[in-house]
Amino acid sequence: MKIRPEQLDAHLQKGLAPLYLLAGDEPLLLDEAAAAIRRRVREAGAEERITLVAEKDFDWSRLTEEAASLSLFASKRLMELRLPTGKPGQEGAKVLGQWAERPPEDTTLVVISGKLDRSSRNAKWVKALEGAGAMVEFWPIPRPQLPAWVQKRMTDAGLVVSREAARFIAERVEGNLLAAAQEVEKLRLLLGEGQISDDQVQSAVVDSARYDPFQLADAALGGETARAVRILEGLHGEGVEPPLLVWVLAREIRALADMAAGIAQGRRKDEVTRRVWANRRGLVDKALDRHPVDRWLSLLEEAGRIDAMAKGAAPGNPWDALQRLVMAVSSVKAGRRLGLVA
């Protein structure tokens, strides 16, 4: 079945489908939908999560082998398959179709795909997944609707603001949903929940900090290692919490990993970066020239470890680890010296 993005939460409250296909070009919306399914699957008793990325030369037998092994375990499982290009190829389409015919009872499969073109939407594997489970497609938020989207997100975060304040943020981020989400999170951390005036919003967004997480991410992507480290130190001094910085960096790295995977599979750089805003395309181009997909995936794993440190779930100093991460993102030489990239 097809469900609209705004229907997903209500659908999950009623129960889980055996599989989900999430597709689109908006990483923030895709990741948040995947996280919502992940939470629901955990609540249903899943004790194990397996993540696979279908890059070039991906061995599709891994998926069938995992399916065959599920019966050996008593616990439920969540399996996530990232399909950056939206095209699994002939072998992948066959495997996904077979999975849809006989979904294992003790697993939930979530396929997270890039944007599906017209031919892909009509492909047999897509129809099979849609018929056996649920399909959710995510589209860019039209600019006229972005202020309302920002205002709802702020309301969900416990912030009460005017339409004008939401419009101010929407104009500042120029349609970038990730940037909008980061601004909302920053406002919540700086001002707390409750009523916030227009002046408070503008002051917090424009003048509240000498440094902000956007600058950190842009400096790292642009290869400005020294500047990135200075910004990180400034954010530390201003009391910004590490989880927010990990979140900002991880989302950038994940998006770059998906784009790098597309390039590795033969797509042109201008094609995989077509959804990047023009004022950031130069930074993204530099970052993609710096690291191939395997390095971005390694850096994404490192971001996960730092997140665990920041939340007390793993040993280590998250600030030291964040410095190593931004250095590795911004410089191949530094990444190799620190042992974070090959």
pLDDT of the residue at 48: 78
| Judgement on whether residues 219 and 328 belong to the same structural domain of the protein | yes
Question: Which of 177, 208, 239 finishes a domain?
Answer: 208
Q: Is residue 342 part of a domain?
A: no
Mean pLDDT value of segment 213-238: 89
| Judgement on whether residues 202 and 275 belong to the same structural domain of the protein | no
| Judgement on whether residues 150 and 174 belong to the same structural domain of the protein | yes
| Judgement on whether residues 15 and 120 belong to the same structural domain of the protein | yes
pLDDT of the residue at 70: 56
| Judgement on whether residues 249 and 202 belong to the same structural domain of the protein | no
Higher pLDDT, 142 or 69: 142
pLDDT of the residue at 247: 92
Q: In the chain, how many domains are there?
A: 3
Structure tokens at 67: 């399916």
Let me know: does 179 contact 215? Beta carbons within 8 Å.
no
Mean pLDDT value of segment 312-338: 89
| Judgement on whether residues 60 and 113 belong to the same structural domain of the protein | yes
pTM for this prediction: 0.58
What distance in Å separates the CA atoms of residue 178 and residue 256, rounded to the nearest whole number?
14
- Counting beta carbons within 10 angstroms of the beta carbon of residue 198, is it exposed (0 to 12), middle (13 to 18) or buried (19 or more)? middle
CATH of the domain at 76: 3.40.50.300
Structural domain boundaries enclosing 307 = 215-337
Q: Residue 309 contacts by C-beta under 8 Å, 6 or more apart in sequence?
A: 242, 315, 316, 317, 318, 321
| Confidence band for 72, pLDDT divided at 50, 70 and 90 | low
Question: Which of 208, 226, 250 finishes a domain?
Answer: 208
| Judgement on whether residues 47 and 114 belong to the same structural domain of the protein | yes
Q: Is residue 333 part of a domain?
A: yes
pLDDT in tens, 300-311: 999 999 999 988
Q: What is the DSSP string of 308-327?
A: HHHTTSSSS-HHHHHHHHHH
Q: For a pLDDT cut of 90, what percent of the chain falls above it?
A: 35
pLDDT of the residue at 206: 61
Structure tokens at 171: 């104009």
Measured in whole angstroms, the distance separating CA 306 from the mean position of its chain's CA atoms is 16
